[in-house]
Amino acid sequence: MRTGTCACRAVRYEVTGELTAVTFCHCSKCRRWHGHVGAYTAVDRSGFRLVEQRGLKWYAETQTVRRGFCGECGSSLLWDEQGESKMSICAGTMDAPTGLQPKAHIYVGSKGDYYPLVDDGLRQYHEFK
């Protein structure tokens, strides 16, 4: 079992399933949400459980996508798409050691103009694949 939390601990979760490798999202929405690149892992919904949710708030990005954050400290926590089998988790909210590995960069075609995209050997997708 792995655990994670927001900065003030008003939202805490447990993960019992296998986590995906981390995808780095460079789209403008993620950059605005995180203040820079988004880094996400995901787990089957059955392997995700909220332990404390008093601070959890949801922002409806679209009719089918919502982003979970802490209303007390502002930490970005979750990305939830209706109909998907997995819950996406902001990788930086997981308690160490995470055991996570990087997978790919997505939406590099819309990355910010203030940073270079370093060739780290990961797959890079201009759009989401």
User: DSSP string spanning 21-88?
Assistant: PEEEE-SHHHHHHHSS-EEEEEEEGGGEEEEE-TTEEEEESSSSEEEEEETTT--EEEEEETT-SEEE
- 49: β partners: 14
Q: What is the mean pLDDT of the chain?
A: 96
The CA distance from 86 to 94, in Å, is 16
pLDDT for residue 43 is more than 90: yes
Task: Calculate mean pLDDT across residues 94-102.
Answer: 97
Domain that holds residue 70: 2-115
Number of domains the chain is built from: 1
Q: For the domain that residue 74 is a member of, what is the CATH number? A: 2.170.150.70
pLDDT higher than threshold 80 for residue 83: yes
